[in-house]
């Protein structure tokens, strides 16, 4: 893959932004994204937000040809929002597909770094836990959950990546075409871990780039104890999955450089 193929202005790339009650963030986010990468397209996947984020997104899309909106009838979770968004992207000719939160924890200024890294990687992860990366304004509990969750996932999965639970990522379309999206059962943090794990098992090259991750300033987090529990259970389930284990064995025999 040659670097020349990656257009740093965002041509050929799509950012998927799932939203639930983000009306105070979304318009500013779209502006900030296009300031940094003027040609990038954005797909907002809104779950009929009670605060009217969906209608607001429609109004923006009506005057900006780079913005698209997918409406779902009710809150169905981040994981399925991304899976539907990936399907939408694959039906079109995007070469790079980003996952990005609406609340500015994923800062638009890093989009070019992720794109650049995608020149020689198939999946790029925004990474908080490497030099140059970090979190801001987090409570002790939130830090503990994130650090602990990453350590747990890394140990159980046996992956040498430093940030498995993050959700600021860039996929080459080949990754999304190859992994079986319909087989993904997880919803919250487990969804992020599962996607990366499946990409790894499919032999794709995974890179990490440092990001600073500030806490959201406006609106409510949808993080919950249920999501953390789901992640803990699903990580073990994934590791024990028979089909995936067979894939791991072949991978070891092939001596992939991971």
Note whether 54 binds ligand GDP by CB under 6 A. Answer: no
Q: Which is nearer to ligand GDP, 78 or 97 (CB)?
A: 78
Nearest of 95, 105, 83 to residue 16 by alpha carbon? 83
Which residue in 21, 103, 122, 230 binds Mg ion (CB under 5 A)?
103
Residues forming beta bridges with residue 169, ordered by sequence position? 99, 125
* Cα distance between residue 150 and residue 39, in whole Å: 34
Alpha-helix residue ranges (DSSP H) falling in 120-241 = 140-157, 173-178, 189-201, 225-240
What the block records as the tokens of 222 is 């949808």
Which residue in 223, 233, 236, 246 binds ligand GDP (CB under 6 A)?
223
Which residue in 25, 49, 84, 105 binds Mg ion (CB under 5 A)?
105
* Cα distance between residue 20 and residue 249, in whole Å: 40
Q: Which is nearer to ligand GDP, 138 or 174 (CB)?
A: 138
Note whether 75 binds ligand GDP by CB under 6 A. Answer: yes
* Cα distance between residue 21 and residue 128, in whole Å: 25
Which residue in 18, 54, 85, 166 binds ligand GDP (CB under 6 A)?
18
Given its phi and psi angles, is residue 211 left (phi above 0), alpha (psi -120 to 50 degrees) or beta? Answer: beta
Per-residue binding string, ligand GDP, 84-113, x by CB under 6 A, is -----------------xxx-x--------
Which residue in 13, 15, 19, 133 binds ligand GDP (CB under 6 A)?
19
Per-residue binding string, ligand GDP, 118-147, x by CB under 6 A, is ------------------------------
Q: Which is nearer to Mg ion, 68 or 189 (CB)?
A: 189
Let me know if 104 is exposed, middle or buried by CB neighbors in 10 A (0-12, 13-18, 19+). Answer: buried
Q: Which is nearer to ligand GDP, 74 or 243 (CB)?
A: 74
> E strands of the chain, at which residues?
13-19, 41-46, 67-71, 96-99, 123-127, 134-136, 169-172, 206-210, 212-214
Note whether 216 binds ligand GDP by CB under 6 A. Answer: yes
Interaction site with Mg ion (CB under 5 A): 101, 103, 105, 216
């Amino acid at each position: 893959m040659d670097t020349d193929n990656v257009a740093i202005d965002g041509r050929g790339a799509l950012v998927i932004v799932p939203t639930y009650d983000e009306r105070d963030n979304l318009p500013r986010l779209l502006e900030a994204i296009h300031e940094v990468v003027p040609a990038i397209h954005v797909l907002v996947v809104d779950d009929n937000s009670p605060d009217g984020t969906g209608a607001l997104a429609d109004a923006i899309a009506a005057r900006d040809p780079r913005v698209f909106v997918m409406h779902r009838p009710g809150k169905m979770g981040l994981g399925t929002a991304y899976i539907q968004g990936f399907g939408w992207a694959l039906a079109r000719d995007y070469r790079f597909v980003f996952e990005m939160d609406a609340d500015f924890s994923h800062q638009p200024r890093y989009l070019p770094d992720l794109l650049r890294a995608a020149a020689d990687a198939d999946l790029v992860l925004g990474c908080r836990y490497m030099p140059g990366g970090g979190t801001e304004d987090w409570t002790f509990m939130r830090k503990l959950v994130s650090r602990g969750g990453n350590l747990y996932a890394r140990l159980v999965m046996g992956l040498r990546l430093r940030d498995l639970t993050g959700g600021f990522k860039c996929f080459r379309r080949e990754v999304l075409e190859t992994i079986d999206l319909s087989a993904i059962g997880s919803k919250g943090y487990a969804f992020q871990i599962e996607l990366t794990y499946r990409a790894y098992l499919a032999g794709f090259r995974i890179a990490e780039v440092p990001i600073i991750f500030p806490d959201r300033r406006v609106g409510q987090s949808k993080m919950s104890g249920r999501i953390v529990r789901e992640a803990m259970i699903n990580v073990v389930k994934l590791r024990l999955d028979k089909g995936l284990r067979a894939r791991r064995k072949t991978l070891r025999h092939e001596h992939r450089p991971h």
